[in-house]
């Protein structure tokens, strides 16, 4: 039976050691304020300032009109370039889209010959290529039709589609970006703090000392879990309230406390993972490598950069074992969609289960390897 | 050559030509050892040093005297056939021990003879391979917490928390031993008084001299009033006065408090003070006896001579083996001080030879830790797979459900139109708004469609009808795509309806648009992602590899090489960097090979250009690791800087998912200058666009510029002297 007072005392010791490392304190403060602000405000909307160029071989009023259809924020003001500059510009990545309006375009349109405009798309920029090209088509065809009919027809369609975006009506990226950044940082920080704290004790020989005392491995582990978890949880709460709600003015639909409860469960899993990694690594450099190898997939495949459902099925299944997947899901549900515990209980359950499994595995491994650490 | 040695060991000092005795920053005396003995009228340097001390220092000092042991007949430590094997190596070979209660029992032997291992087995820190041991009448069991409360242990290296003050350390340990909270202040005060720690109560241990630190260690080991103390070389490196003081304390504990003391040492005068001693060599106990009896039995003049006799019998050492070299057998094997070249370029501002010797040393370090290099190579390959296949920018398999209030063929047809596309997957229908709300909040549905009642009827009559569509906006990228798809499909359905009704072709527009998807005609994710993943991996992995290289030396102390040798900062850093650049280029080769063979993403452009770009880029990324390593003090902080300095810019600002030109604010500024963006352009240019150097030179210049910037920054931030 773990001794609560021991866990508490050892945890306080961890807090002291963090408090006496000013570089770490500055770094933690930075990641949960400036870093979140920068990442959130940098994220563009899907079609934002897309660089476009136009080759106007026609030089007619119609082609000029097409040129004026593109303006910020969706597009950067179009560059008028010559035919030979297309390849160089696209090769260098200066433009995602290049429209080539052929000679005699206006004449052919008016003569009803249905001429074709060429649209070059840099398809390596997947995120803009797809949405952007259909958007460009709509704009160009709209201008042409308007030119032909002399007015923009509000064509009364027999069935109207009332399309609304819920939870983020204007689809503002900073809402999404800031919260996902918090989730990323929570994961990153908790794994590194706990894992490195254990390795440091080993490299400084203090683990050996602890083991000669009436302290069990479970107590050592739990003390690191609670203390580092608490630090990260507090930092996340501060970031959520002051940076996200305060500075970025992102409206939060659900209960912040429910989100933090979810974060606490998530931290239980990630801090256990950090300890487990520290028992695998024999030195800090090894731990550093391991951290990169594990953190990258944890973050990129959790569904907070690209949607989960478009990943291959195998990846989706494997990532169900990762705490980040569930944390991202519950974070999105609570913070954006105002979901309550009746909706997100499956994620809570999954996080608790993953945490329990990670903790048990880590504790077993910690117990087994502890004599090598001393 | 003149050699200057600093030592606290008097028998070592005995052999030097000329001595400077120092205390508290002041020189006490200088001269040859014989002169010092003569001047103080003493017969040993230990005594001479004490005699030389100012009165204030000497006050309270008394030569160590040991009252005789009163034998109680109780046994405190009993070990039979204790054995420890590490693989084939037998560290401790069938050791038998029996230590009486209240006895001061000495354990003598050279470094690495198995003393520490034996002591660790007795405390339960190491499980014995064979044999039994019991402490205070109970078998040693690592799980037995109760015994630990009765034992105090002090290890060879200082192992208290350097981030806690002296007082905090004492209190923490008292609490860990579960002393009643009310008694702790009194107990801590008592320890502070007894061990003379009152003046340093609020100091951090690292700022204290070794003698005081060892006293603190002993106080901590004693704070829970153990009946048995196991002390592993508690006095090594401590000056004679501090050592005698420590002994005074131990004798006091043994004789007045009946604490059994099991101590290991390699000082002869300390061995002579023990009630009994065991001489250990190569894992075996050679002899156990009262010190005076040992000397008598061998017919030797001193204890040291007696030992050497026993060691020679046991086959240790040979001709010309001095006493000290037997007892302190070469601890510093494999010390890794790089050889500084002499002669021509010894004073050059940058000596390639010196840099090269650091390079060799770092390579050796990498070779000794093959796990790290393997992780770097294998890990990147695995990550390439994970991301190449895992990160897909095709938005597919979107979930949707319909709230169909009409339930006619027409309304079903509309839903079918969606579920038939490869982008959407239909979920069970929705029955009311509450359900719609709940399922959307839970994130189950990316899209919900509501078809009003009377949809088919109104449509047939030509009345305006409205279909409602709700898109989950929580993930804006996905929402925009969904919006685009739904609009497209809605138009398609209308056109289809009109055609069926009127049998006419859809009205052709005034113009058409021919869209050419260049570089990646099928708009597949893989050819777009693979060249983008390479820069990310070549940034993060090499940066993390180098990030700890300098700060680790700071934390573990070997940075002193930089401080004391004529090596310049640039030689030191560049020498360290080179092996990692080679490793990173190997990484690059693996990644490129994987891209071409496994992923089928061919190198369409100039491989030479790509390689040149990669070389510049990995010089930057390893340089970034060094940069993180130079200004931080702890390994954790360096790791953290390397992580946040590479991961966030690489994923978000370098153009992997969104082109840099579309970014905003500071992120845009970072993306513009950050080398990863430029290497991404080069990578995509060569892989996807078939370009060579001429097409990409605009990306090369910023990359080439970043290299000297990061290197100079690292060199400037690295301090040549300790702070």
Q: What is the DSSP string of B324-376?
A: HHHHT--TTTT--PPPPPPSGGGG-SS-HHHHHHHHHHHHHHHHH-HHHHHHH
Nearest neighbour of A145 by CB, restricted to B510, B513, B684: B510
| C-alpha–C-alpha distance, residues A89 and A52, integer Å | 10
Q: Mean pLDDT across the stretch A169-193? A: 85
SS3 content of chain B, % helix, strand, coil (to 5): 55, 15, 35
Closest alpha carbon within chain B to A51: B661
**What interface predicted TM-score (ipTM) does this complex get?**
0.82
Lookup: tokens for A322: 């990762």
- E strands, chain A, in order: 52-56, 79-80, 97-101, 116-122, 159-166
Which residue of B636, B643, B652, B696 to mutate against A (max A Cβ within 10 Å)?
B636
Which residue of A209, A316, A338 to mutate against B (max B Cβ within 10 Å)?
A209
Calculate how close chain A gets to B148, using CA atoms only, in Å.
6
| C-alpha–C-alpha distance, residues B238 and B214, integer Å | 8
> A5: helix, coil or strand?
helix
Which residue of B188, B213, B464, B664 to mutate against A (max A Cβ within 10 Å)?
B664
DSSP state string for A97-134 = EEEEEPTTHHHHHHTT---EEEEEEETT-HHHHHHHHH
Lookup: tokens for B347: 């004073």
| C-alpha–C-alpha distance, residues B458 and B455, integer Å | 5
Lookup: tokens for A4: 């609560």
Q: Is the model's pLDDT at B190 over the cut of 70? A: yes
Q: Mean pLDDT across the stretch B153-177? A: 84
CB contact B500 to A (< 8 Å)? no
pLDDT at B335: 41
Cβ A231 vs Cβ A22: under 8 Å: no
Q: Which of B522, B523, B534, B518 is nearest to B690 (CA)?
A: B518
Cβ B172 vs Cβ B163: under 8 Å: no
Nearest neighbour of A13 by CB, restricted to B161, B396, B665: B161
Lookup: tokens for B519: 């570089």
Closest alpha carbon within chain B to A74: B662
Nearest neighbour of A300 by CB, restricted to B387, B476, B698: B387
Taking CB atoms and an 8 Å limit, are A49 and B662 in contact across chains? yes
CB contact B399 to A (< 8 Å)? yes
C-alpha torsion B180→B186→B191→B197, nearest 10: 130
pLDDT at B347: 60
C-alpha torsion A144→A149→A152→A154, nearest 10: -120
Which residue of A172, A183, A292 to mutate against B (max B Cβ within 10 Å)?
A292
If 0-12 CB within 10 Å is exposed, 13-18 middle and 19+ buried, where does residue A203 land?
A: middle
Taking CB atoms and an 8 Å limit, are A43 and B658 in contact across chains? yes
Residue A158 DSSP symbol: S
pLDDT at B376: 84
Q: Which of B481, B307, B431 is nearest to A46 (CA)?
A: B481
Q: Is the model's pLDDT at A341 over the cut of 50? A: yes
Lookup: tokens for B540: 């993060």
Lookup: tokens for A153: 């027809």
End-to-end CA distance of chain B, in Å?
Answer: 30
pLDDT tens-place string over residues A203-236:
877 887 787 788 888 898 999 999 999 999 999 9
Helix or strand holding residue B702 (H, E): helix B693-717
B104-108 and B260-265 strand pairing? parallel
**A168 phi-psi bin (left φ>0, alpha ψ -120 to 50, beta other):** beta
Other C-beta atoms within 10 Å of B82: how many?
24
Taking CB atoms and an 8 Å limit, are A91 and B157 in contact across chains? no
Which residue of B402, B458, B510 to mutate against A (max A Cβ within 10 Å)?
B510
Helix or strand holding residue B399 (H, E): strand B398-404
C-alpha torsion B143→B149→B150→B153, nearest 10: 80
| C-alpha–C-alpha distance, residues B91 and B113, integer Å | 7
End-to-end CA distance of chain A, in Å?
Answer: 23
Q: Is the model's pLDDT at A156 over the cut of 70? A: no
Taking CB atoms and an 8 Å limit, are A127 and B393 in contact across chains? yes
Calculate how close chain A gets to B272, using CA atoms only, in Å.
28
B19-23 and B130-135 strand pairing? unpaired
Whole-structure pTM value: 0.81
pLDDT at B502: 64
Per-chain mean pLDDT for chain A: 85
Q: Which of B714, B718, B705, B721 is nearest to B672 (CA)?
A: B705
| C-alpha–C-alpha distance, residues A24 and B608, integer Å | 41
Closest alpha carbon within chain A to B140: A212
Residues on chain A touching B494 (C-beta within 8 angstroms): 157-159
pLDDT at B59: 64
Residue A329 DSSP symbol: H
Taking CB atoms and an 8 Å limit, are A208 and B155 in contact across chains? yes
Please report which residue ranges of B128-197 form alpha helices under DSSP H.
145-148, 166-176, 184-194
pLDDT tens-place string over residues A117-151:
999 988 888 777 777 887 888 788 888 888 887 65
> How far is residue B272 from each of residues B222, B245, B265, B298, measured CA to CA in Å?
24, 16, 11, 15
pLDDT bin (cut points 50, 70, 90) of residue B348 is: low
Chain CA centroid to CA A362, Å: 27
Cβ A288 vs Cβ A373: under 8 Å: no
Nearest neighbour of B467 by CB, restricted to A133, A162, A305: A162
Taking CB atoms and an 8 Å limit, are A124 and B689 in contact across chains? yes
CB contact B180 to A (< 8 Å)? no
Q: Is the model's pLDDT at A33 over the cut of 60? A: yes
pLDDT tens-place string over residues B446-460:
899 999 888 888 888
Taking CB atoms and an 8 Å limit, are A92 and B525 in contact across chains? no
Q: Is the model's pLDDT at B504 over the cut of 60? A: no
Taking CB atoms and an 8 Å limit, are B442 and A333 in contact across chains? yes
Taking CB atoms and an 8 Å limit, are B397 and A309 in contact across chains? yes
B284 Cβ partners below 8 Å, 6+ apart?
B93, B94, B95, B114, B314
Taking CB atoms and an 8 Å limit, are B653 and A123 in contact across chains? no
Give the lowest-confidence range in B12-21, B328-337, B638-647. B328-337
- The more confident residue out of B301 and B592 is B592
Per-chain mean pLDDT for chain B: 82
Residue indicated by tokens 């990484």: B587
Give the lowest-confidence range in A170-174, B1-5, B95-99. A170-174
pLDDT at B334: 40
Nearest neighbour of A212 by CB, restricted to B125, B639, B666: B125
Cβ B525 vs Cβ B391: under 8 Å: yes
pLDDT at A268: 94
Give the lowest-confidence range in B115-124, B314-323, B378-387. B314-323
Residues on chain B touching A315 (C-beta within 8 angstroms): 386, 389-390
Lookup: tokens for B148: 């630990």
> Which chain B residues in 337-376 lie under 8 Å from chain A, judged by CB atoms?
369, 371-372, 375-376
> How far is residue B501 from each of residues B42, B302, B414, B494, measured CA to CA in Å?
122, 119, 15, 10
pLDDT bin (cut points 50, 70, 90) of residue A189 is: very high
pLDDT tens-place string over residues B596-625:
998 888 888 889 999 999 999 999 999 999
* Chain length of chain B: 723
């Amino acid at each position: 039976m773990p001794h609560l007072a021991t866990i508490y005392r050892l945890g306080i010791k961890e807090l002291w050691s963090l408090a006496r490392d000013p570089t770490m304190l500055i770094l933690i403060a930075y990641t949960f304020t400036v870093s979140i602000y920068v990442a959130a405000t940098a994220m563009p909307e899907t079609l934002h300032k897309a660089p476009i160029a136009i080759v106007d071989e026609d030089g007619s009023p119609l082609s000029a009109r097409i040129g004026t259809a593109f303006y910020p924020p969706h597009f950067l003001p179009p560059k008028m370039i010559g035919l030979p500059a297309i390849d160089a510009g696209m090769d260098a990545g200066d433009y995602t889209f290049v429209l080539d309006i052929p000679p005699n375009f206006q004449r052919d349109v008016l003569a009803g010959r249905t001429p074709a405009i060429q649209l070059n798309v840099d398809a390596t920029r997947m995120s803009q290529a797809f949405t952007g090209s259909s958007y460009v088509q709509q704009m160009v065809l709209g201008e042409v039709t308007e030119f032909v009919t002399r007015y923009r027809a509000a064509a009364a369609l027999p069935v109207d589609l009332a399309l609304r975006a819920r939870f983020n009506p204007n689809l503002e990226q900073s809402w999404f970006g800031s919260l996902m950044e918090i989730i990323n940082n929570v994961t990153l920080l908790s794994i590194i703090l706990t894992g490195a704290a254990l390795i440091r004790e080993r490299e400084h020989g203090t683990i050996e000392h602890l083991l000669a005392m009436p302290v069990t491995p479970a107590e050592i582990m739990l003390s690191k879990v609670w203390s580092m978890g608490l630090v990260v949880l507090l930092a996340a709460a501060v970031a959520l309230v002051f940076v996200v709600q305060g500075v970025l003015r992102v409206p939060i639909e659900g209960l912040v406390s429910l989100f933090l409860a979810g974060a606490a469960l998530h931290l239980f899993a990630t801090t256990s993972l950090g300890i487990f990694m520290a028992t695998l690594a024999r030195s800090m450099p090894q731990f550093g490598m391991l951290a990169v190898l594990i953190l990258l997939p944890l973050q990129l495949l959790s569904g907070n950069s690209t949607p989960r459902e478009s990943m291959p099925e195998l990846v989706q299944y494997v990532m169900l074992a990762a705490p980040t997947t569930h944390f991202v899901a519950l974070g999105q549900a609570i913070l954006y969609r105002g979901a309550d515990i009746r909706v997100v209980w499956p994620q809570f359950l999954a996080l608790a289960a993953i945490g329990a499994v990670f903790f048990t595995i880590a504790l077993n491994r910690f117990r087994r390897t502890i004599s090598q650490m001393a | 050559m003149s050699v200057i040695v600093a030592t606290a060991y008097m028998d070592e000092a005995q052999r030097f030509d000329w001595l400077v005795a120092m205390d508290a920053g002041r020189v006490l005396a200088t001269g040859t050892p014989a002169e010092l003995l003569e001047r103080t009228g003493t017969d040993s340097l230990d005594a001479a040093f004490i005699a030389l001390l100012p009165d204030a220092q000497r006050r309270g000092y008394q030569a160590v005297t040991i009252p005789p042991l009163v034998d109680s007949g109780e046994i405190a430590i009993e070990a039979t056939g204790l054995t420890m094997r590490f693989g084939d190596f037998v560290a401790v070979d069938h050791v038998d021990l029996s230590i009486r209660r209240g006895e001061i029992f000495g354990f003598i032997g050279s470094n690495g003879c198995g003393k520490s291992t034996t002591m660790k087995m007795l405390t339960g820190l190491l499980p014995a391979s064979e044999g039994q041991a019991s402490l205070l009448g109970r078998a040693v069991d690592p799980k037995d917490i109760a015994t630990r409360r009765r034992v105090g242990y002090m290890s060879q290296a200082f192992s208290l928390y350097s981030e806690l003050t002296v007082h905090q350390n004492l209190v923490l340990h008292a609490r860990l031993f579960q002393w009643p909270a009310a008694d702790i202040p009194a107990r801590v005060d008592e320890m502070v008084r007894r061990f003379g720690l009152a003046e340093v109560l609020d100091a951090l241990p690292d700022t204290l001299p070794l003698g005081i630190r060892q006293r603190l260690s002993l106080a901590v080991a004693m704070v829970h009033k153990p009946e048995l103390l196991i002390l592993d070389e508690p006095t090594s490196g401590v000056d004679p006065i501090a050592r005698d003081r420590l002994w005074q304390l131990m004798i006091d504990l043994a004789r007045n408090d009946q604490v059994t003391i099991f101590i290991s040492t390699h000082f002869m005068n300390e061995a002579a003070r023990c009630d009994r001693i065991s001489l250990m060599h190569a894992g075996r106990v050679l002899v156990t006896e009262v010190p005076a009896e040992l000397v008598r039995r061998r017919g030797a003049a001193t204890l040291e001579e007696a030992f050497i006799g026993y060691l020679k019998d046991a086959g240790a050492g040979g001709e010309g083996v001095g006493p000290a070299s037997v007892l302190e057998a070469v601890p510093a094997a494999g010390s890794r001080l790089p050889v500084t070249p002499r002669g021509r370029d010894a004073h050059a501002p940058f000596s390639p030879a010196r840099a090269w010797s650091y390079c060799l040393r770092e390579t050796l370090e990498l070779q000794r830790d093959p796990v790290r290099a393997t992780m770097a190579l294998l890990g990147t390959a695995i990550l390439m797979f994970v991301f190449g296949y895992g990160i897909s920018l095709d938005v597919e398999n979107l979930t949707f459900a319909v709230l169909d209030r009409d339930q006619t063929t027409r309304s079903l047809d509309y839903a079918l139109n969606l579920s038939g596309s490869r982008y959407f997957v239909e979920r069970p229908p929705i029955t009311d708004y509450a359900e719609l709300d709940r399922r959307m909040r839970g994130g189950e549905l990316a899209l919900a469609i509501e078809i009003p009642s009377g949809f088919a009827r109104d449509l047939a009559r030509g009345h305006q009808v409205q279909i409602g569509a709700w898109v989950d906006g929580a993930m804006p990228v996905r929402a925009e795509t969904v919006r685009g798809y739904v609009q497209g499909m809605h138009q398609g359905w209308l056109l289809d309806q009109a055609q069926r009704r009127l049998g006419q072709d859809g009205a052709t527009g005034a113009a058409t648009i021919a869209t050419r998807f260049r570089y990646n005609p099928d708009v597949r994710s893989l050819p777009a992602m693979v060249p983008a993943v390479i820069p990310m991996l070549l940034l993060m992995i090499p940066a993390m590899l180098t990030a700890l290289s300098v700060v680790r030396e700071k934390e573990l102390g070997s940075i002193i090489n930089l401080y004391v040798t004529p090596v310049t900062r640039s030689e030191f850093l560049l020498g360290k960097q080179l092996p990692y650049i080679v490793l990173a280029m190997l990484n690059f080769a693996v990644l490129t090979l994987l891209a071409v063979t496994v992923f089928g993403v061919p190198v369409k452009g100039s491989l030479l250009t790509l390689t040149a770009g990669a070389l510049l880029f990995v010089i930057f990324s390893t340089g970034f690791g060094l940069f993180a390593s130079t200004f931080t003090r702890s390994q954790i902080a360096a790791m953290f800087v390397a992580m946040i300095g590479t991961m966030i810019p690489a994923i978000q600002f370098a153009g992997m998912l969104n082109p840099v030109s579309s970014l905003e604010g500071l992120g845009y500024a970072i993306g513009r200058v950050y080398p990863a963006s430029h290497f991404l352009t080069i990578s995509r240019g060569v892989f996807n666009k078939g370009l060579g150097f001429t097409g990409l030179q605009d990306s090369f210049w910023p990359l080439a510029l970043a290299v000297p910037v990061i290197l100079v920054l690292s060199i400037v931030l690295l301090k040549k002297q300790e702070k």
